[in-house]
Amino acid sequence: MKSGNSFIALGGAQSVGASSYFVKIDNRSFLFDCGRGISDGITLGPNMGVLLQEECINSLSQLDQIFISHGHFDHVGYLPDLLAMNAISSVIASPTTKELGKYLMSDGSEKQLQGLSDDKRQIYNQRLQGAFAKVQTIPLNITQQFEDYQVTLFEAGHIPGAVMTFVETSTKKILYTGDFLTNPTLLTKGYCLPKGVKPDLLVLCGLHAMHPQYQPVRIENISVSYMSICLQKKQSVFLSIKQLTKGLEVIQLLNMRMEKGLIPEARIYVDSVLWRIADSFSIVGQSVLTQRCHRIQEKNIDKNLGIYIGTGKMEKYFAHVIKFDFSLHASYSDIVKLIKDTIPSQVMVVHTGSPRNDDNSALISEFCDIEIKFCKSENRYSI
Ligand SMILES: [Zn+2]
Ligand SMILES: [Zn+2]
């Protein structure tokens, strides 16, 4: 086994999906996230084999700790398989991710289950339940001591339960951001990092790290005037959402705008997958379902006036369809601010993505004293 501090992106380097980042430091082996990606109907996991080829570890059971940043499929989707096949001692996540992770990841897990036999579905579900049962939680903002290293989780602001992970060994400090957001949303407060957090290595999920000109759309700026016109004309409208967590934000937005009288009072019909997640949020005391929310019954879709929310497949029933999308990721300027605030000596930028006018020179030239790498998948870097 090779010694020396190293970093390898096993998946989700310059793409979204299969996020999994290995860090070896002071002979401790850590894995930050363990996701899956879906491309052209095929689900891909991270390439764990690289760790054995590169002789970072002799077996996956030697991983000291797996940290899960949040419940999205691209960050946790591979965990059930990894734990089912390997004797891994410890997985850490926030209490909310442990409670809600199996629901939050259903964007991807539902796709992964499509076309599988009942037996295979059952095995998958058992692995899923088993994986989340093994997750240990630590409360946010309280440093936990583990043998010869310390761990603190901080609010990442991206979705409920999402955290930044700060690991301190005797010689190095590492901050893994996971997906993060600066602005508050309707369900989160934005990331919250104390001033004293000064990592040597920053592993940064920078979806917009190559998009200096791009201003992501925020939910509070979304116009609802078209929806109001439809309702005034007594016509239903379908809001097509791309991701389930965003659907929860939309339900919250509609409730708030109806309470303020900005949209006519109407029933909100929620599709069954989204309903299951929304309902699960009551476990952590953050329910978005109000009296005006109802579960969509497919047979009654066109009979009841209201606002319908779901993923695309119900569009065909509606004359008025609004594709609702907004961003839950930090903008380029937010990324610059995070680096300025934490002044690391090394930054590994991962999880970059569309819109594709990719140019990493802007961020690199912004910081001449900091080594910034847009790291390649499966490449070993010294840290
Ligand atoms: Zn995410
Ligand atoms: Zn992500």
More confident residue, 299 or 251: 251
- The answer to whether residue 200 sits within a structural domain is yes
Residues near ion ligand 1 (CB < 5 Å) are 72, 179
Token code pair at residue 200: 């040597």
Distance from residue 351's CA to the centre of ligand 2 (Å): 7
Distance 72 CA to ligand 1 centre (A): 5
Q: What is the CATH number of the domain that holds 269?
A: 3.40.50.10890
CA–centroid distance, residue 21 to ligand 1 (Å): 15
Examine the fold and report which residue of 306, 324, 342 is the final residue of a domain before the chain moves on. 324
What SS3 class is residue 296? Answer: coil
What does 179-224 look like in DSSP terms, one character per residue?
A: S--SS--SS-------TT---SEEEEE-TTTT-TT-----GGG---
* Total number of domains constituting the chain: 2
User: Does one domain contain both 170 and 228?
Assistant: no
Ligand 2 center–CA 19 separation, angstroms: 7
How many whole angstroms from 29 Cα to the centroid of ligand 1?
Answer: 24
Banded model confidence at residue 224, pLDDT cuts 50, 70, 90: confident
Q: How far is the CA of 234 from the centre of ligand 2 (A)?
A: 39
Residues 255 and 288 in one domain: yes
pLDDT, tens digit, 9 for 90 and up, residues 78-99: 999 999 988 888 999 999 999 9
Closest listed ligand to the CA of 181: 1
378 and 301 share one domain: no
Q: Which ligand is nearest to the CA of 207?
A: 2
Ligand nearest to C-alpha 33:
2
What pLDDT is attached to residue 357? 65
Instruction: Report the separation in Å between the CA atom of 246 and the middle of ligand 1, taken as the mean of its atom positions.
Output: 10
Name the range with the highest mean pLDDT among 72-76, 119-123, 271-275: 72-76
Q: Does 355 score more than 70 pLDDT?
A: no
The protein residues having their C-beta less than 5 angstroms from ligand 2 (an ion) are: 74, 179
177 and 279 both lie in a single domain: no
| 302: in domain | yes
CA pair distance 238, 317, nearest whole angstrom: 9
| pTM summary value | 0.95
Which ligand number lies closest to the CA of residue 12?
2
Summarised one tens digit per residue, pLDDT across range 19-73 is 999 999 999 999 999 999 988 778 899 999 999 998 889 999 999 999 999 999 9
Distance 170 CA to ligand 1 centre (A): 31
Please give the residue range of the domain that contains residue 376: 6-213+328-382
Residues 259 and 293 occupy one common structural domain: yes
How far is ligand 1, taken at its centre, from the CA of residue 3, in Å?
A: 32
CA of 232 to the centre of ligand 2 (A): 38
The last residue of one of the domains, among 307, 324, 341, is: 324
117-130 tens-digit pLDDT: 899 999 999 999 99
Structure tokens at 159: 């979705």
Write down which residue in 275, 293, 324 finishes a domain: 324
51 near 60, Cβ under 8 Å? yes
301/370 same-domain check: no
Interhelix angle for 106-113 vs 118-134, to 10°? 150
DSSP 158-186: SSTT-EEEEEE-SS-EEEE--S--SS--S
Average pLDDT, the chain: 92
CA neighbor of 128 nearest in space, from 70, 79, 161, 162: 79
Any domain includes 1: no
The helix or strand, by DSSP H or E, that contains position 134, with its residue range, turns out to be helix 118-134
Domain membership of residue 90 (yes or no) is yes
Instruction: Please check whether residues 357 and 267 belong to one and the same domain.
Output: no
For residue 320, the one-letter residue type is H
Distance 91 CA to ligand 1 centre (A): 18
Q: Which residue has the tokens 């190095």?
A: 172
Cis peptide before 355 (omega within 30 of 0): yes
Q: What is the CA(165)–ligand 1 centre distance, in A? A: 15
258 C-alpha to ligand 2 centroid (Å): 31
DSSP assignment string, 307-366: EEEE-GGGGGG-S-EEEE----S--HHHHHHHHHHH--SEEEEE---SS-----HHHHHH
Q: Locate 109 and state its tokens.
A: 């897990």
